[in-house]
Amino acid sequence: MSSNPFNDETLNPFDFAKDAAAKIAELTSIASHDIALVLGSGWAKAADLMGETVATLNAADVPGFSKPHVEGHSPTIRSIRLPSGKHALVLGSRTHLYEGKGVRAVAHAARTAAAAGAKIMVLTNGCGGLNTDLAPGTPILISDHINLTTLSPIEGAKFVDLTDLYSTRLRNLARSVDPTLTEAVYAQFRGPHYETPAEVRMAGVMGAGLVGMSTALDAIAAREAGMEILGISLMTNHAAGIQKTPLSHEEVLQAGREAEGRIGKLLAEIVAKF
Ligand code: 8IG
């Protein structure tokens, strides 16, 4: 088993992110990226549709980015030139809290994106939904989140404001591309188990419409790093208890495959507006 660089007590996570960004600049020959995207379950196709791929890196060649362990997640970091001439950095390998590498590992992608120059961070995911009016395979804008992990990616007395965390401006821009897009509050659970039906009901009472295992911590790290955030979920399944049959990762991947062309095109069109 390879060692976890984030366990090093002397590590400065921001310096480490600068190292990663410098490596990305070196390997892509793109000095600065304008936007960054994390593509979660079902969203990988967007990268092919957004523009011309300038460079594809092995995530493992960039400090702090190890191979992902979840099938359906792409192990690359790509630099894409958008039709506008802007440069997008596509981080295909999110580190999830449930991997047990700690919050620094989770926050590393956002910190690296900011160090690479990104002013906008697009966070996508696959998640469960509570709204029975929406069918699996529906993309949904994240309007806000409830962080149920009990953790923060921020260390020390840095009191970061999270008002309008999921940018109203960017959500409006997304709706200008697709006026049928709905929005919901995303509740992040630690995972990797799915919720119990009682936990899903709790999330609903709290005001959540989506449940997942990522994004909230990523968004907090991205805000701390000064980026504007757009969050979009692909609801791949109705959450436990809402759907009466047991949840399976295979079902989630299948819903992702069926939706990926459609949502990839949607995301590419949204990013073209940035
Ligand atoms: I895809 O129903 C996907 N990810 N917590 N609950 C949680 N995470 C998920 C779910 C879900 N579906």
Paired tokens of 218 = 């990523």
Sheet strands (E) in the chain: 35-38, 52-58, 76-81, 87-91, 120-129, 138-147, 182-188, 210-212, 228-238
Percentage of the chain exceeding pLDDT 70: 96
Does pLDDT of 70 surpass 60? no
Paired tokens of 201 = 């009901």
Domain, as residue range, for 20: 5-271
Q: Dihedral angle at the C-alpha atoms of 84, 228, 98, 160, nearest 10 degrees?
A: 160
The enclosing domain of 39 has a CATH number of 3.40.50.1580
Ligand 1 centroid to Cα of residue 248, in Å, is 10
Q: Which amino acid is at 36?
A: A
Index of the ligand 1 atom closest to the CA of residue 249 = 1
Contact (CB, 8 A) for 28 and 80: no
- Report pLDDT for 2: 54
Q: Is 137 in the pocket of ligand 1 (CB under 6 A)?
A: no
- Report pLDDT for 94: 86
Would you name the residues annotated as active-site residues?
Answer: 195
pLDDT single digits (tens) 175-190: 999 999 999 999 999 9
Q: How confident is the model at residue 112 (pLDDT cuts 50, 70, 90)?
A: very high
CA distances from 88 to 36, 109, 153 (A): 5, 14, 24
Q: Is 259 in the pocket of ligand 1 (CB under 6 A)?
A: no
Q: Which amino acid is at 185?
A: V
Determine the average pLDDT of the residues in 95-109.
94
Determine the average pLDDT of the residues in 159-165.
97
Q: How confident is the model at residue 232 (pLDDT cuts 50, 70, 90)?
A: very high
Ligand 1 centroid to Cα of residue 117, in Å, is 31
CA 95 to chain centre: 10
Determine the average pLDDT of the residues in 229-247.
94
pTM, to two decimals: 0.95
Cis amide bond preceding 139, omega within 30: no
Paired tokens of 264 = 């990839």
Ligand 1 centroid to Cα of residue 186, in Å, is 11
Does pLDDT of 91 surpass 60? yes
Best probe residue, ligand 1, of 149, 185, 252, 263 (max atoms within 8 Å of C-beta): 252
CA atoms within 13 A on the CB side of 161: 5
Ligand 1 centroid to Cα of residue 87, in Å, is 31
Among 91-95, 121-125, 130-134, the range scoring the smallest mean pLDDT is 91-95
pLDDT single digits (tens) 6-35: 988 899 999 999 999 999 999 999 999 999
Contacts of 14 by beta carbon, 8 Å cutoff, 6+ apart: 111, 115
The number of folded domains in the chain is 1
Beta strands 138-147 and 228-238 are: antiparallel
- Report pLDDT for 68: 52
Sheet strands (E) in 137-220: 138-147, 182-188, 210-212
Q: How confident is the model at residue 1 (pLDDT cuts 50, 70, 90)?
A: very low
Contact (CB, 8 A) for 182 and 132: no
- Report pLDDT for 248: 86
Q: Which amino acid is at 193?
A: H
Dihedrals phi, psi of 136, to nearest 5 degrees: -55, 140
CA distances from 95 to 103, 167, 181 (A): 9, 23, 27
- Report pLDDT for 67: 61
pLDDT single digits (tens) 187-220: 999 999 999 999 999 999 999 999 999 999 999 9
- Nearest protein Cα to ligand 1, atom 11: 128
CA 6 to chain centre: 20
Q: How confident is the model at residue 71 (pLDDT cuts 50, 70, 90)?
A: low
- Nearest protein Cα to ligand 1, atom 4: 127
Higher pLDDT among residues 64 and 252, named by residue: 64
Which one-letter DSSP state was computed for residue 213? S
Q: Is 267 in the pocket of ligand 1 (CB under 6 A)?
A: no
The whole-chain average pLDDT of the chain stands at 93
Beta bridge partners of 142: 184
Index of the ligand 1 atom closest to the CA of residue 256 = 1
Higher pLDDT among residues 73 and 115, named by residue: 115
Index of the ligand 1 atom closest to the CA of residue 128 = 2
